[in-house]
Structure 1
Amino acid sequence: MSRPRVMGAAEIAERLKVTRQRAYQITARRDFPEPLATLAMGQVWLADDVEAWIRTNRPHLDEPEGE
């Protein structure tokens, strides 16, 4: 059984090519996916949900790096 791939604010910031502060602003948007969980280190999102949001809202960043 494979584990779901998750992203925290740092990974989202890197993926969106923005600062971590800007990533927090983006993840607070109403149209951003709900976090999978809130941990001591912060919130985490399913990577597939984040990638789907990017395809819709930031199509110029549609291709994940390294894929």
Structure 2
Amino acid sequence: MGRLSGDKPSKDYELIDVLKDIFSESHIPFVYDVDISHLPPQNTLVNGAIAQVHYSNEEDKIDILFK
């Protein structure tokens, strides 16, 4: 999930709360506030490409494979 330009909490219900509600029961990992989407610096993710996401406190990386 990229960074959002108009994101404001509504009655203490923030973006992270929405994402947890959506993905927690299915145990799907997610990342948010990433340099993708429409706000600079925007990195490109290609729809339909296979991606492997590496995330840690030291390094973040997305490897994209085109088949």
TM-score with structure 1 setting the length: 0.22
TM-score, length-scaled by structure 2: 0.22
Considering Cα pairs closer than 8 Å and 6+ residues apart, tell me whether 1 or 2 has the greater RCO. Answer: 1
**Max Rg structure:** 2
Which structure features the higher share of helix residues?
Answer: 1
